[in-house]
Amino acid sequence: MKEIQQKFQVSYSLPVIFTRDVFGADNKILAELLSKTGRRNRILIVLDSNVFNATPKLLDKIEQYASRHGDVMEFVSPPFIIKGGEACKKDMSEVDKIHALIDKYHLCRHSFILVIGGGAVLDAAGYAAATAHRGIRLIRMPTTTLSQNDAGVGVKNAVNAFGRKNFLGTFAPPFAIINDFDFLNTLPKRTLRAGIAEAVKVALIKDKAFFDFLYDERQRLASFEPDVMEKMIIRCAELHIEHIGTSGDPFEYGSSRPLDFGHWSAHKMEELTGGKIQHGEAVAAGIALDSLYSFHTGLINELELRKIFSLLEDIGFELFHWSLSWMDINSALREFQEHLGGRLTIPLLNGIGNRIDINEIDAALLKKCVNTLSETAEGKERRHASGKRADAGKRGSRKILP
Ligand SMILES: NC(=O)c1ccc[n+]([C@@H]2O[C@H](COP(=O)([O-])OP(=O)(O)OC[C@H]3O[C@@H](n4cnc5c(N)ncnc54)[C@H](O)[C@@H]3O)[C@@H](O)[C@H]2O)c1
Ligand SMILES: [Zn+2]
């Protein structure tokens, strides 16, 4: 009998670059990144259909950029316009099309996929890139608030299967991430807002000063003032990427997933609504629920809970979504546990700016929290219907508290 034990380490470096007008005449960021390979790079572009529709001149600009920097880049084909939003993750057909293009144009492991789009498109194209030839280099250009501050700056990708979110996916760090704030200009307000939920999430579990910043600037965030949006995105991305680099578990081998505060229910809400609720909106409602549970278990105090609810509501989020009432809490928790592996581990708050992992959840108390949020939302709607709109949100959150 013989056993061989060989340890090895792999080191990654993950640049996240913030810019504007990435394909502009004076912008050399992409060309400089590509020049690091020391040769001319073959690239397939995968472009979110809604970015394509919203930015008619984008393809021309990309073409011109490529001709200016022909020494480091060449496109193997016209961009592949992929169905934007959750549609590209719902089944494998879009991923299959990318695989087919990789095969048709003979991309190798040293070629690049440059994906431009929201979190869903980044996930689907990232999955296609990671699985073809066991991994083609990927450059991500996130185009939504959520993907610039969270989904695009991580190491994961996924598509949905068997009716379950992110059932198929891999951990595959991209070559680089380029966050161009100008992409946000064409986003509908709803999507622009949704991503702010991830900043609230990461501030709550990691950085009280960032939470205070978001709280103080909540009115300006609500009107999407560019300077405060940019600061929010940069700090949020920084906290996410720092977590990946320093948590000791970038590929989530453990059972704890701290960055998923408020997410066990959010993923279920997305499934139950068939993707009608946006990820960030579901996260906002998930944060409200887990914050209320944290309050009832003595982990945060009343003032902290009030501040969290005011921040979410003032930004424009609903604290409750009807799909929560339909949810079988025990099976949702079981599925979350199954997805992460090992023991049930739910991140909760331990004051603002700190998290604590909980291995046992009182499902009855959680259900009570759902009911409280639901009743408050109904009350708010009734007041709206009877024309008493003024300050409805604030009165709503006050009623939640004893
Ligand atoms: N891999 C990860 O670590 C990770 C982390 C968080 C979320 N996610 C995933 O990200 C997805 C959500 O991402 P999202 O919030 O960016 O939503 P999204 O990708 O669904 O985009 C929302 C909508 O905006 C459109 N769009 C994107 N950019 C646009 C632009 N610049 N102008 C106009 N329209 C534009 C999209 O086509 C889509 O219709 C979910 O599938 C979620 O599971 C992944
Ligand atoms: Zn998320």
CB 41 within 8 A of CB 111: yes
On whether residue 1 sits in a domain, the answer given is: no
pLDDT in tens, the chain (402 residues): 999 999 999 999 999 999 999 999 999 999 999 999 999 999 999 999 999 999 999 999 999 999 999 999 999 999 999 999 999 999 899 999 999 999 999 999 999 999 999 999 999 999 999 999 999 999 999 999 999 999 999 999 999 999 888 999 999 999 999 999 999 999 999 999 999 999 999 999 999 999 999 999 999 999 999 999 999 999 999 999 999 999 888 888 876 777 889 999 998 999 899 889 999 999 999 999 999 999 999 999 999 999 999 999 999 999 999 999 989 999 899 988 888 888 899 999 999 999 999 999 999 999 999 999 999 898 887 887 887 555 544 444 445 554
Cβ-Cβ contacts under 8 Å for 243 (sequence gap 6 or more):
206, 258, 259
The CATH number for 140's domain is 3.40.50.1970
Can you give the residue range of the structural domain that contains 210? 191-382
Q: Looking at ligand 1, which atom is closest to the CA of residue 86?
A: 20
Same domain (yes/no): 309, 369: yes
On whether residue 8 sits in a domain, the answer given is: no
Amino acid at the residue 186: T
SS3 sequence of 135-181: CCEEEEEECCHHHHHCHHHCCEEEEEECCEEEEEEEECCCCEEEEEH
Protein residue whose Cα sits closest to atom 7 of ligand 1: 151
DSSP 84: P
**Is pTM, for the whole model, over 0.75?**
yes
In the numeric block, the tokens 């680089």 are attached to 176
pLDDT score of 389: 53
Same domain (yes/no): 250, 303: yes
89 ligand 1 Cβ < 6 A:
yes
Give the integer Cα–Cα distance in Å for 283 and 278: 9
On whether residue 398 sits in a domain, the answer given is: no
Same domain (yes/no): 224, 344: yes
Protein residue whose Cα sits closest to atom 14 of ligand 1: 119
Same domain (yes/no): 154, 226: no
| Closest CA relative to residue 380, chosen from 298, 320, 309, 296 | 320
How far from the centroid of its chain's Cα atoms is residue 383's Cα? 33
Burial of 198 (0-12, 13-18, 19+ CB in 10 A): buried
Same domain (yes/no): 104, 220: no
- Please give the distance, rounded to the nearest whole angstrom, from the Cα atom of residue 119 to the centre of ligand 2: 10
Q: Looking at ligand 1, which atom is closest to the CA of residue 118?
A: 19
Instruction: Report DSSP letters for 301-347, one per residue.
Output: -HHHHHHHHHHHHHHT--S--THHHH--HHHHHHHHHHHH-SS--EE
247 ligand 1 Cβ < 6 A:
no
Number of structural domains (the chain) is: 2
Q: Which of 164, 186, 208 is the last residue of a domain?
A: 186
285 ligand 1 Cβ < 6 A:
no
186 ligand 1 Cβ < 6 A:
yes
pLDDT score of 388: 58
Same domain (yes/no): 141, 172: yes
Q: Which of 162, 186, 210 is the last residue of a domain?
A: 186
Probe target for ligand 1 pocket from 14, 147, 192, with the most ligand atoms within 8 Å of CB: 147
Q: Which of 155, 186, 217 is the last residue of a domain?
A: 186
Tell me the helices (H) and strands (E) count for the chain, helix number first: 19, 11
Same domain (yes/no): 180, 203: no
| Closest CA relative to residue 46, chosen from 140, 111, 109 | 140
What count of other Cβ atoms lies within 10 Å of the Cβ of residue 164?
14
